[in-house]
Chain A
Amino acid sequence: MLLSEVGYARPATLEQALGVLADYPGARALAGGQTLINVMKARAAAPDVLVDLAGIPALKGIELGPDGTLELGPMITYTELIGSAEARARPILGEVCAQIADVQVRNKGTIGGNVCSSDPTNHLPPLLVALGAVFTVTGATGERAVPAEEFFLGVYMTAAGPGELLTKITVPAGRSDGFASVPIGVDGTCIVNAAATVNGGVRVALGCVAATPVVVEAPSTDPAAVRAAVREAALEPPSDVHASADYRRHLAEVVAARAVEQAERGA
């Protein structure tokens, strides 16, 4: 419940933030804190410095390009995204954010924090992988674009390495998207989830079944075909108190088909 001693920095610019991260190898970025603070309470991680990103305007903002591309600042909260007129260009984003936890968490939690924690049960990693988002990672040496599929490296591990920050999430245009999950209780932690998009192919990203989202392409939107494609992925999901590996494997098929069905309805 009680944190270890930690340093705190309040940068006003991206450069300042990167500077602190470079100077303190054990530093972690503090976004909304809705995950990191709890991790620190449990002392499962003990960064020596927290770099508070809340005061950096460059990390906020939502821009909708003329081609329908959305540029999202990582420090946008779920609530801000849900309320954003621009973000309605890709409605699935707000719909999924509205399913996360509760009002308090949505008011502080950020989309960048959601993806950078790379918790296998999170909502946004599979969603952004399915949508084919691109993440901009910025470090001392400059910027690089990382496709979502390559951004998630493992549990709690992403391509934003030491001294780097996620600085933008770019979501391509599109509307035929779906998301389905089996949460523990309404809006609870996901036992399994799936995001789907039907934009010229049928693309599904499964969450909770591996360390990082698993992409499955189905030959058609036919539920049987989707489920067969999931089976072919030969998933090896974890077993835990909420679900055995077999049950998760089964649920993955079901939520994949449901996500595709929802995506098709939007098409």
Chain B
Amino acid sequence: MTEPTTVAEPIVVEEAETKRGYAGQSVPRKEDKRLVQGEGVFFDDVKRHNMGYVHFVRSPYAHAKLRSVDVSKALEHPGVLGTLTGDEVALLTDPFFQISSPPGAHLRDFCLAVGKARFVGEPVAAVVATTRETARDASELVEVDYEPLPALTDAREALADDAPLLHDEAGTNLTWEGVYEWGDLDAAFAEADRVVKISELHFDRFNSTPLECNGALVEFNRGTGQWTIITNNQFPGFAAIMMGPAMRVGLDKLRFVTQDIGGGFGNKITSHPQLVACCLLARKLNRPVQWTEWRTDFHLSMSHGNERWFQDTEVAVKEDGTLLGFRTTALDDAGAWLRYEPLGGVIWAQVTPGMYRWRHIRLDFKQVTTNKAPVSPNRGYSRMQHLWFTERVIDIVAQELGLDPVEVRKRNYIRAEDMPYETPNGCVYDSGDYAKMLDLALELVGHGGLEEKRADAESRGKLLGVGIGSTLDSGTNNFGQSRLINPELQFSGNNEVATVKLDIFGEIVVTLGTTPQGQSHETTAAQVVADILGCSVDDVNVRAGHDSYWNSHAGFSGTYASQFAVTGLGAVKGATDMLAVEMKKLASVVLGCTPDDIELAEGFARMRENHEAALPFMALGAIINANNAGLPEDLDVTLNCRYVYRPPFQPPDVERKFGNLTLTYAAQVHVAVVEVDPETGVYEIVDYAAVDDCGKRINPQVVEGQVMGATAQAIGAATHETFTYDEDGNLLTPNFYDYHVPHALDMPPLKTGNIESPSPFTSMGTKGMGEGGGAGIHAVCAALQDALRPRGNPIVYDSSNPYHRVWELLSDPESSRQRVTVESR
């Protein structure tokens, strides 16, 4: 890093109407006091008397038959409490429910490998011992007889006749396919002046490597048959649906407890297999069982982001750069198991046209299994891959047609006046002004002085490039989209729950169904509650984390998919509105007026016309909880309100693959400026602007923090982070030594800006945000392509551009160019 990094003051272009209250203020976080003192409670901080520590024995082979698993020697090791093998698991549990229609539906997925291991790092057996070290030692005594099989490590070879077959039950590696087509492709291509063909683009495999890995402490209550799972799983609703049927128990037997979670980013959604193993062990051994996933385990086995090849892309475009449509094949490498997949096969369709107005689109989505770690949601899940693709297309089209990438975007962006905008497949973009965001981002990096900057870089022997990454963060899913994957599924809509109560001494207590991993839910929920009840945020106690016992959750509860500001806060608002009504009703009875005469302000329920006639919250709480004789029989007041937020969705049209799949669309436009050293391929990001729009911001500082974090992760993914495998299926980046994430000195200067386009579809005008759509990846790819133009116009074809790839583009631009042809019509 050659310059100090600074974050300039965010430029707010448009402010929503100013209201008195906490909404819109950067209220200090309630979470901080405990976290800065090291008093957060993460799962590994919890101890139980007599707990046993789990170590998973993991396959060293990418593909192998398990001829036998012999734990006898491990069991004899002093300190070992017990073991679990695939054979036991196959008897004690049923395979996990598969979201997929056939052939993916036929996969038999258990919590330990049964019969075969299908990726390096797959858990094959578990050993429990009195100390962590003993469990680790004893695991070396487990004798597994592997019969190695050829490994499939390239999705493009998954359908070859001689490709290794991962799942006999499926009969193919192509576990799910969906062909999506909207508009009139033939007409679009007939109308086109040019057809730009791109043979292959690749979105690489990586993930967000939350600093805390997965884990749990599981206890089993024999008397009630209830498990308590103290964990950091970020989507307990999903985990329960997966675990209950597999374990042959009702979902209420699975109590999920989370408090502090050290980052999630989607990578803590599919830990349910390991949680099942822990549950079985806790029951078998009659003691609490503790599992800590170490970094290498996590890299080997957990939550890789979808790796996707875009093949045989054809883009219909007019001479002036108007984009008419495209067709492509999206070949998705799902890894060895479908744990949240194939939902990725439809979730991209939330942003089918990206930010652009083309109407004629065909995408053939083919998902294949390979001998790699199973994929699962990763920050930007499936939309990021698709949006990267659309941005690559824009840049390549602009470059090949000799057009300015800024102008091509502005010509084709969906416009503010088009909003709400229905996309070709029936999704509705709620609001936004992408062109304005682009102008702002360009201004922040001094785009006007670009040519001078280029000349200056050249004088220092460097190639300067500027790139735009525009992207969407669609949030609040309609789970009905799962029916586009499998029409038999009975999921649709979404929900989130909150309770708000006024306790006997007037305490306001809020519970959420969410599982925050840094998104400041306690703070923003308190802001919403305080504004409605007319009290201070300090008076609002929001319980930390999630607990099934609070009964504050529903089927989709959790924290994922950029939705809290809509679903979670929608539930909080709903519950608090109910409570406010009840408080006014009760106060009106006590004070002898009508509820409309009552206002809630300054911690009182008081008569609007006479502030002396006031009841403190404590009085209201005391009356209902402890002093309720003499109240009218029909007084419908409990001061304990539970609200289930339900977004307004319809089940989509499965035939046409049409319908609204997400409620809100936050947008991000980023611009990256890079300098490439043409002698080495090493490059540096020398300037960077991130402009964000997530509608009304309840807590601007919280929003900006996640914008920054998303930017940093995208920069990591663009530059060094990759889960690359060798041809035998060994992961070459199994820990932080080889998988380089950005460190402090790697950070570029960052300028931020924002606009607020409120959503017309949400109760507070908020939109979910947080994932960020991978804008940094798109921007860095574009910047590199721009920088390298003088060196033979290479095409940036991969989302991951470590130095060696840039070098390859520099040394042999022709090879990359062979991916692109332009036909004139």
- Residues on A lying within 8 angstroms of B by beta carbon are 1-5, 38, 42, 102, 182, 184-189, 191, 240-244, 247, 250-251, 254
Contacts and interface: CB of A to CB of B under 8 A. Distances in A.
A186 B680 contact: no
A188 B721 CA distance: 13
Contacts of B746: 185-186
Given A2-B133, A247-B804, A185 B742 contact: yes
Contact of B732 (A1, A189, A241): A241
Nearest to B135: A2
A1 B807 CA distance: 35
B171 to A, nearest CB: 34
Contacts of B802: 184, 242
A189 B1 contact: no
**Minimum-distance CB pairs A-B, first 6:** A186-B745, A241-B732, A1-B294, A2-B136, A2-B133, A184-B740
B3 interface: no
Interface string B797-825: 00000111001100000000000000000
Interface string B116-156: 00000000000000001100110000000000000000000
A3 B804 contact: no
B286 interface: no
A184 B716 CA distance: 11
A185 B743 contact: yes
B738 interface: yes
Given A185-B742, A186-B746, A241-B722, A254 B679 contact: yes
Contacts of B722: 241
Given A5-B137, A241-B724, 8 more contacts: A1-B136, A1-B295, A38-B737, A184-B720, A185-B720, A186-B746, A188-B740, A247-B808
Contacts of B133: 2-3, 5
B56 to A, nearest CB: 12
B804 A242 contact: yes
B398 interface: no
Contacts of B733: 241
A244 B719 CA distance: 17
Interface in B722-769: 722, 724, 732-733, 737-738, 740, 742-743, 745-746
Nearest to B55: A2
B27 interface: no
A5 B77 CA distance: 14
A206 to B, nearest CB: 15
B682 interface: yes
Contact of A186 (B1, B132, B679, B804): B1
Contact of A251 (B296, B680, B724, B738): B680
Contacts of A102: 743
Interface of B: 1, 132-133, 136-137, 294-296, 679-682, 719-720, 722, 724, 732-733, 737-738, 740, 742-743, 745-746, 802-804, 807-808
Contacts of A240: 732
A98 to B, nearest CB: 12
A187 B738 CA distance: 14
18 contacts: A1-B296, A38-B737, A42-B296, A182-B682, A184-B740, A185-B720, A185-B746, A186-B1, A187-B743, A187-B745, A188-B740, A189-B737, A241-B732, A242-B738, A242-B803, A247-B681, A247-B807, A247-B808
A184 B683 CA distance: 11
Nearest to B294: A1
B57 to A, nearest CB: 13
A191 B742 contact: no
Contact of A191 (B136, B137, B294, B803): B803
Contacts of A251: 680
A75 B119 CA distance: 42
Contacts of A241: 722, 724, 732-733, 738
A254 B679 CA distance: 7
B679 A182 contact: no
Contacts, number: 60
Contacts of A184: 720, 740, 802
A182 B803 contact: yes
B717 to A, nearest CB: 13
Nearest to A244: B804
B740 A185 contact: yes
A182 B681 CA distance: 10
A187 B294 CA distance: 25
A182 B806 CA distance: 14
Nearest to B802: A242
Contacts of A1: 136, 294-296
B804 A243 contact: yes
A194 to B, nearest CB: 12
A42 B295 CA distance: 11
Contacts of A182: 680, 682, 803
A42 B804 CA distance: 28
Nearest to A186: B745
Contacts of B804: 242-244, 247
A186 B743 contact: yes
A251 B724 CA distance: 22
B16 to A, nearest CB: 39
A99 to B, nearest CB: 11
B716 to A, nearest CB: 9
A241 B724 CA distance: 7
Given A184-B740, A186-B746, A247-B807, A4 B724 contact: no
Contacts of B136: 1-2
Contact of B680 (A3, A188, A254): A254
A250 B807 contact: yes
Interface centre among A3, A188, A244 (most CB of B within 10 A): A188
A244 B808 CA distance: 10
Nearest to A243: B804
Contacts of A4: 137
Contact of B132 (A2, A5, A38): A2
Contacts of A254: 679-680
A107 to B, nearest CB: 17
A2 B808 CA distance: 40
A245 to B, nearest CB: 11
Contacts of A5: 133, 137
B460 to A, nearest CB: 14
B729 to A, nearest CB: 14
Contacts of B720: 184-185
A207 B132 CA distance: 38
A184 B680 CA distance: 13
Nearest to B292: A1
A109 to B, nearest CB: 15
A185 B803 CA distance: 10
Contacts of A244: 804
A242 B720 CA distance: 9
Contacts of B294: 1
Contacts of B732: 240-241
Contacts of B808: 247
Contacts of A250: 807
A2 B803 CA distance: 34
A254 B294 CA distance: 38
Nearest to B1: A186
Nearest to A251: B680
Contacts of B724: 241
Nearest to A102: B743
A242 B679 CA distance: 17
A182 to B, nearest CB: 6
A182 B680 CA distance: 8
Contacts of A188: 740, 743
Contacts of B738: 189, 241-242
Contacts of B803: 182, 191, 242-243
A240 B745 CA distance: 25
A2 B807 CA distance: 39
A125 to B, nearest CB: 18
Interface centre among A3, A242, A251 (most CB of B within 10 A): A242
Contacts of A191: 803
Contacts of B137: 4-5
Nearest to A189: B737
